[in-house]
Structures are given as structure tokens and as C-alpha cells.
Chains A and B, each alone.
Chain A
Amino acid sequence: MTTSMATKEELKARIEAGIPGARADVRGDDGHHFEAVVSAPAFAGLPRIAQHRLVYDVFGGELGGRIHALALQTKAE
């Protein structure tokens, strides 16, 4: 069983697949700490905390585990 390291490409693809219309710009090369700027129409009208929850929900229990940290900035568009 392998627990492969997370990559920014993987995170970008999963965010964009998980949130309709989302565009994600993900940085981070150490496999554990990432920074993402995510914009999505789905964020419109939502408080920041709800916008972040939508992104967190893409990764479920992996955040804080396999993905140690995901610094997040969200924008409605």
C-alpha cells in the first residue's frame, strides 16, 4: 500500500473537479504544505468560512493528515 505524496497538480485537479466552475491556483512543492487561491461561482454570497468549507470538503479527512496544511484564499466570481 502506498501513501503517495500530495502534489500541487493533484490538489488543483481535485479542487477544480470537486467544485463546479472552480479555478484553483495551487502552490507548494514539499508534499505537505500548500497554498491555494480558489475562485468559483459557487462562492458567491457565501461567508468566507462557508467558502473555505467547500474547498476543505473536497479533501475530507486528508487535511491535517496526508495534506498537512492548505493555506486558502477564496474568491467568488
Chain B
Amino acid sequence: MSDETQNPLRDAIEDAIRSNPVILFMKGTPEQPMCGFSARTVAALQALEAPFAAVDILPDPRIRQELSALSSWPTIPQLFVNGELVGGCDIVMEMHETGELAQALGVEQPDEAPAAASAQAGSAPLSIENRLG
């Protein structure tokens, strides 16, 4: 049985992972990544023109703490697809090279992607901080 969590930040992170089919937790923003590993991961997603939500973990150290506690993954970035952790920079790059990333993201059929999802992508990085305010 799982305890009711009394941790609003963790709830917000879980909700963000649940409600965004592709979400990247990173240092900085897609427009201005603050770490090479985050930058490379963003570049791979952008190369596939995959729509994704992004969360900057830098504004509050608790975001990273709670995220890593949730995912059991120690490093940033972390890419989630359909609620599941896909991996960090190394795994995403390896999957990008083998074509598995496109497959996981379902970007081989861009015509099927809903226009609304594409419109939201990238331009408005999700900010967990704001959601708590």
C-alpha cells in the first residue's frame, strides 16, 4: 500500500510526468541549456522534431531531489516518455544513433501528431515552480 504523499513538489513532478507524453527534466531551458549533457539531449529531441515539455531543475534544488527520489536516477537530464523514464543523456544519445529514440517517441508518423501538441512544444517550457506558486 502506498502512503498518501504530503509532498506537493513531488505531486507536481508526478503530475507533470503523467500529463506530458514527452517531458525532459534538464538544467536550463531548451533555448538556453546550462549543461552540456542537457544540451545534447535537447539537440537529439529537436533533431527528430519531437514535441516535448521541459522542466528546468536549477531554480530549486528540491526539484532535483524529489525527481531523483521518484525515478531512482541520480543524474540530470532525465527523459520520460509516456510516464516512463527512458534515460539520461547517454541512453538518449545511444537510442538516437540506433533509431530507437524516434521509435520510442513515435515521430516516424509526424502526420499523426496532433497539431495542438506540436504548438505547445518547446516554446513554453513547463515551470514546476510556477505551478506551486
Contacts and interface: CB of A to CB of B under 8 A. Distances in A.
A71 B91 contact: no
Given A71-B90, A72-B90, A64 B76 contact: yes
Interface residues of A, number: 15
Contacts of A27: none
B80 to A, nearest CB: 11
Interface residues of B, number: 17
B91 A49 contact: yes
Contact of A69 (B37, B68, B94): B37
Interface in A15-71: 48-49, 52-53, 56, 59-61, 63-64, 69-71
Given A69-B37, A73-B94, A48 B76 contact: no
A64 B74 contact: yes
Interface string B63-93: 0100010001111100000000111111100
A59 B37 CA distance: 19
Contacts of A71: 89-90
Contacts of A59: 74
A53 B73 contact: yes
6 contacts: A48-B95, A52-B88, A63-B75, A64-B64, A71-B89, A73-B94
Interface of B: 37, 64, 68, 72-76, 85-91, 94-95
Interface of A: 48-49, 52-53, 56, 59-61, 63-64, 69-73
Which are the 9 A-B pairs with shortest beta-carbon distances?
A63-B74, A72-B90, A49-B87, A48-B91, A56-B74, A64-B75, A64-B74, A71-B90, A63-B75
